[in-house]
Structure 1
Amino acid sequence: MSTEHLMGVYNRAPLEVDRGKGARLWSTDGTEYLDCVAGISTNGLGHAHPVLVEAVKTQAEKLWHVSNIFRIPGQEALADELCANSFADVVFFTNSGTEAVECALKTARKHHVANGQPERIDIYGFDGSFHGRTYGAINAAANPSYTEGFGPPMEGFHQLKWGDHDAIKAAIAQPTTAAIIVEPVQGEGGCRAMPEHCLRGLRELCDQYGVLIIFDEVQCGMGRTGKLWAHEWAGMAPDIMAVAKALGGGFPIGACLATTNAAKGMVVGVHGSTFGGNPLAMAVGLAAFTTINTPAILDNVNAIAGYLKQQLVGLQERFPDVIADVRGKGLLVGVKLIPNNREFMATARDTQQLLIAGGGDNCVRMLPPLNLTLEEAQEAIRRFEGACEAVRAKAAA
């Protein structure tokens, strides 16, 4: 086998994965790795979790797919859980996070049409953000590496500088502004968490000017920060939210959550999906959600996150020539490096630890399963320390 017939859009690591269990992965040559990527914050319960495996098996023997022209009981059950445990009143199910973002963008604009203000089309995002790979999503983030070569920018999308409060206030006050889209904790942008007082201030401004807030919690939601939703730390809520990744525990599923008011323009015929909300995805999503949304898992996230941060700060003191900063929230951990982050990742693979790069800020991310044990966290630190030592030795050679 080779990659010659695969479209060359991925810079793949030289690692062929064969199987996984919990926080472990094994390559086809039998090498065991500690997985601190978790499918980029997706395998929230690790690999082959028995509850999810059973959900797939049971539903696969009953029904995989049926058109959305029929009622799908699994959709109703999972939507009930999501709404009962969030700000939302309604849910639209998708196959991915980027589709959930696309639905959120359309929902925001349709809201203003329904209010008799069709001129409100402008959506403001932030530098360093990542919202997925559909055309609307890449324009919302406007990262040049994702938008260049795909024609002119899409009308109505604008970017703000992270922390530029005057520009944020001016944007929200514009009569053509429809929504602000933000990740409460950025992933690709270097694990930057928006300060809680800034989130609360954003809510107040948007309420003042009739602008909607969209939260992209595709990566930082579903327990990743130690609460079910990352924005809960700020004691406020958005109007619309995109979630995915850990919602399916590795199975493709996403969801756009909204208040009844925000979704008032989403009437019959304005949006849809062939596979979104299929019975198989709903069965796995319901199993993943009810397993993650428990005190045991969320308490574990906070305990393990506290340990990892303490230890990584200690490593920063020992390796100031390697580690510049430790950031993030919960188990969305970012380590800003001095050496090249991708070279560091390759070194970490040599110590059988998998890490993921953190975008343009030269970070690596640690995104382990939410049920990582203390012993596994200790092992992760030992392996990270080994990578630091190896990088230092290489620089001195």
Structure 2
Amino acid sequence: MRPPGADERPLVGVVGSGIAGLRAANAILRSEVDARVVVFGDEIHRTYNRPGLTKKRYPLSDSLGMTIAEDVKVKGAESDALTWRLGTGVETADLRARTLRLSTGETFGYDALVIATGVRPRSSVRGDGECRLHTHRTLRGLSDARYVHQRLQAGEKVTIVGAGFVACELASLAREYGCEVLMLEARRSGPFESLLGERVSEALRRWLVRHGVTFLTGDSARELLCEAGEPDAAPSSDRSLFIDAVGSVPNVEWLHGNGLDLSDGVRVDAYMRVSPWDNVFAAGDIARYPDPWAAGSPTRMEFWKNAIDTGNLAGRSLASSLGHGSPASGISYFPSMSTEVIGLRVQIAGNPRTSDSTKIVCGDPDRPDQGVIVAYLREGAMVGAAYLDQGARLNGAYIKLLRSLRERQPDVLHAP
């Protein structure tokens, strides 16, 4: 019960100030819900473009941190129609009582909730200690980016553990700065292997090596991974930069005790609704939803476009639950992502991970800079595509392939 004279408008909490949280909040406002929307964020910064932290080389400057922060601003984050509670984490939630306990010691009661706390980087160091030989870092936030760019500007040797998107973009950035780069991938043969398959992965590994990156796999990589330092041991004064890019961990601990499926992020339905709570929704990297491209099997994706799409859907679904706007359609999307690996453009569409075979449509994987297009098939039907090129030689053929792939896009899923 609200006290007499209190604001009677619905109060919506958005936990997470990343792009998924921002998109959800703005979608609620666009639905003309007469509600108060409060966005909580651990960081002191309003929403910014996280993928942009590894995309660009910056000139030497005393104001490097400010330059990066300005460069990765996103449209919509300047909104003062929202109440921003930055530098304020949420420690626990009682979904039955509709209450959040904040890092400030306060409690926050809500009428509806969006969970968009995303993920945090996984570390390759065992235990809680710091390695004596290296300065271990991850790159997730603005403070990380400022530190890493400063070290790379100094031309330091850098070791990168992992071979995913962040790892490859960091390797590209380090080479632009003129750094010596060592990449360690103990589990697979090369970049993006679990997504694009062994042949394309090996082609990308050769491309990195061709451009000056030392790339070690298997036991050779494993031998160079670090153990935690002895607690009483003094660290070496000349530790080199060692960046962990070995995946992530969903930030779900604050939701424990609510009977949710938190086995891999937060399980939601096709409308981003967190069962069994009609007033709770999740979006972005943390949301595990029925995948239209894999017969409804739950999937969780950590891509910028996914955060935007699921954030928009969560906001529309929440507004609809409050009786505003037309009912939201269930999740239906065309997955697409892109990156650049030392000048080589890599574009991916659909869901190659679910394929059981591949087909080279045109080009040669051993000459990716000349253009190569790969179709990914499941039981003979195309479920994904990838295009590697240093220019746009095969762009027309790739667009044609995407049209064919889009025609196979599954129908919208509906919640039971």
**TM beyond 0.5:** no
Please identify the structure whose Cα radius of gyration is greater. 2
More strand by share: 2
Structure with the larger helix share: 1
Greater RCO between the two (CA within 8 Å, min separation 6)? 1
Tell me the TM-score normalized by structure 2: 0.25
